[in-house]
Structure 1
Amino acid sequence: MKKIMLVCNAGMSTSLLVQKMQAEAKNRGLDVTIEARPMAEAMENLDSADILLLGPQIGYAKGDFQKATDKPVEVIAMVDYGRMNAPKILDAALAEMN
């Protein structure tokens, strides 16, 4: 099972996106867990994910996360985040993990 962690400032803005991504993964029959965590909590739980997707508003922290883990760290594109484009974001995460 693959685990995707979305990270944002407070953990609130990504909750809707997580729901949409979970629905997309379920529709595709994928064995994927997707969760959202605030930045501080994410740093303490790096081992619980196979990839970290940062909200565009905290893209500045990508380097800090990359130093803290050897797992892929990506910033979600602003346009995809704004449109809640769950299929595209999920595809990008899956491609990075393979």
Structure 2
Amino acid sequence: MKKMKAHAKDIGEEIDIEALSISEASDKIAHVDIVMLGPQVRYQEKQIKEMADGRIPVTVIDMMDYGKMDGAAVLTKALATIH
């Protein structure tokens, strides 16, 4: 998250990023633009998509980007998905 926030600042994007558990997501999902799941919880993608009800994109972070902690790549993909 820190690297994503740093990259956002570098490119002049104003973003708010939170890491949440699945149970917390149900309370916040109505107020976000995208949900990105870590590869280790990809099995919960269907559950989150049901919560999102087609209103917002739900994606799984690329395992290589996640493993390398490549916040710039993850943020770039998120922004491309929502714009």
- Structure 2-normalised TM-score? 0.91
Bigger fraction of residues in helix: 2
Q: Which residue of 2 aligns with 1:68?
A: 51
The alignment-based identity, stated in percent, is 38
Matched, 1:84 2:69: yes
Bigger fraction of residues in strand: 1
- Structure 1-normalised TM-score? 0.78
Q: 2 CA distance for matches of 1:72 and 1:39?
A: 16
Q: Provide the alpha-carbon RMSD of the alignment.
A: 0.9
Given the alignment, which residue of 15, 22, 34 partners 1:39? 22
Per the alignment, in what secondary structure is the counterpart of residue 13 of structure 2?
A: coil
Task: Structure 2: give runs of 5+ residues left out of the alignment.
Answer: none
Q: Report how far residue 37 of structure 1 moved.
A: 1.0
CA distances 1:26-48 after superposition (whole Å, capped 9, x unpaired) = 11111211111112111221012
Task: Structure 1: give runs of 5+ residues left out of the alignment.
Answer: 1-17
Q: Which runs of 4+ in 1 moved over 2 A?
A: none
CA distances 1:4-38 after superposition (whole Å, capped 9, x unpaired) = xxxxxxxxxxxxxx111011101111121111111
Amino acid at match of 1:60: Y
Paired residues in the alignment total 81
